[in-house]
Structure 1
Amino acid sequence: MKPVAGQQSQLRIIAGTWRSRRFGFSEQPGLRPTPDRVRETLFNWLSGHVEGARCVDPFAGSGALTLEALSRGAAWTLACDTSREVVNTLRGHLQTLGCDRAEVRQQDALTLLATAPAAPFDLAFLDPPFRQDLLAPACAALENNGWLSADALIYTESECRPSELASPANWSLHREKRAGQVWYCLWQRNA
């Protein structure tokens, strides 16, 4: 069954300071929150890398990855989405949690990534809407515009196999898994 725009759905923070907290978000076209079991696997992969990390989430959507990273001790997260409603909802969740370690911008992800950040990020979460050819350009922009620290980890979620992704030459595939029609992968940047 397809989600209806404006219909309320929920996400649950899996672990960390805000473990088991639930937040509502409105369904939007192309919005696919990372499922609990995929997030749990991802953050198991990231064990030891989240605490104190600077994270960027250019396709924030429901904010599930941003909230999970912050709950697990990320020092700072920059989240971005084109939808005003999505951005306002995520800002509201952060306010409810009393979290001042994040910035949420209403902006196109590729526009955001086209400029250099003030400082590089340790973790990047790339979960763009499917079938819009956004993943490869986002990977290239992260690499080419100074968004990543020397040994950054990059998470990707897509409908295609990791071998089909034109990833930057200095990224190596660290972990990969499939859940239904979704491939999710963790890449290691090698400076």
Structure 2
Amino acid sequence: MSNKGNKGSFRIISGKYKGRKFEFLPSKDLRPTPDRLRETLFNWLGQVIDRKTCLDLFSGTGSLGLESLSRGAQKVTFIEKNFEHFDKLKGYVKTLDAIEKISIINKDVLAWLDETNDEFDLIFVDPPFYEQLAEKVLLKIKTKSLLAKSGNIYLEVEKDLDLSFLKMDWEVIKETCSGRKQYLLLKEK
């Protein structure tokens, strides 16, 4: 996406902040999950978000974590390395009355995963494309037991990524493709 002064936007689909719109400057490294696909994801999850802890890795705009918060998540942790995206996300959060439910961290995802021992009910993994990060992130989540026993991982990756690394430890519950992306809901085997 080129940045010619045009603004992109996303909206919260459901819950407490339904209809709330957030704007951002388009960037080649920013790919907010489209409304239609976020709606599909949250339909897959059903009511599982209510009172759950969520982790939004490679947060970008934070659309997945913010949607979770709107739908009743108890706590949402955002991890975003890019300072501009991190700063914009902090601005979004200030407009909500949920500061006590949100943690925003400006750090490399792999470095943060090395440091944390927190457990999460739902983890969103939407890494930059073509950087081979999905497998590394899922391995850290598995080896550090960061996913709660009945938890799920939402994985959004490039369509042509070889996902054979999932077979050993992860069960694909739901999946779909759109354009150049594939979307998967996982649980630990």
Determine if the TM-score, normalized by the shorter chain, exceeds 0.5: yes
Aligned-residue offset at 1:6: 6.9
**TM-score scaled by length of structure 2:** 0.93
Determine if the alignment matches structure 1 residue 55 to structure 2 residue 54: yes
1:27 paired to 2:26: yes
Is 2:46 the partner of 1:36? no
Q: Which secondary structure does the structure 2 equivalent of 1:27 belong to?
A: coil
Amino acid paired to 2:28? P
Match for residue 123 of structure 1? 122
By how many angstroms is 1:5 displaced? 7.8
**Which consecutive segments of 4 or more residues in structure 1 shift more than 2 A?**
5-8, 26-29, 160-165, 167-170
Partner SS, residue 78 of structure 2: strand
Whether the aligned pair in 2 keeps the contact of 1:116 and 1:146 (CA below 8 Å) is: no
Q: Secondary structure at the match of 1:124?
A: strand
Aligned-pair Cα RMSD in Å: 1.7
- Secondary structure class of the residue paired with 1:112: helix
The answer for the alignment partner of 1:70 in structure 2 is: 69
- When residues 5 and 78 of structure 1 are mapped into structure 2, their CA distance, relative to the original with a 3 A threshold, is farther
Farther off after superposition, 166-175 or 60-69: 166-175
Q: Does 1:112 align with 2:112?
A: yes
Deviates more, 1:71-80 or 1:82-91: 82-91
Distance 2:162 2:136 in 1: 16
Q: Return the offset for 1:151.
A: 1.7
User: Which secondary structure state, in structure 2, belongs to the residue aligned with residue 68 of structure 1?
Assistant: helix
| % same residue | 34
Counterpart secondary structure, 2:166: coil
List per-residue Cα deviations over 1:72-94 (Å, max 9, x = no partner): 00000110111111111111111
Relative to 1, partners in 2 of residues 1:160 and 1:129: Cα closer, same or farther, differing over 3 Å?
same
2: CA distance, partners of 1:83 / 1:76: 22
Partner-residue secondary structure (3-state), 1:51 = coil
For 2:112 and 2:153, the matched residues in 1 are separated by 17
Deviation readout 1:4-57 (Å, 9 max, x if unpaired)? 287531111111100011011222332110001110000000112100110111
- Please state whether the residue corresponding to 1:131 is helix, strand or coil: coil
Gaps of 5+ in 2: none
| CA–CA separation in structure 1 for the residues paired with 2:4 and 2:41 | 28
Question: Does the 8 A contact of 2:78 with 2:104 survive in 1?
Answer: yes
Give 1:96 shift: 0.5
Question: Residues 91-106 of structure 1: matches in 2 within 5 Å?
Answer: 91-100=90-99, 101-106=101-106
* Alignment-derived partner of residue 83 in structure 2: 84
CA contact (8 A) 1:173 1:187 kept: yes
Aligned residues: 188
Matched, 1:166 2:165: yes
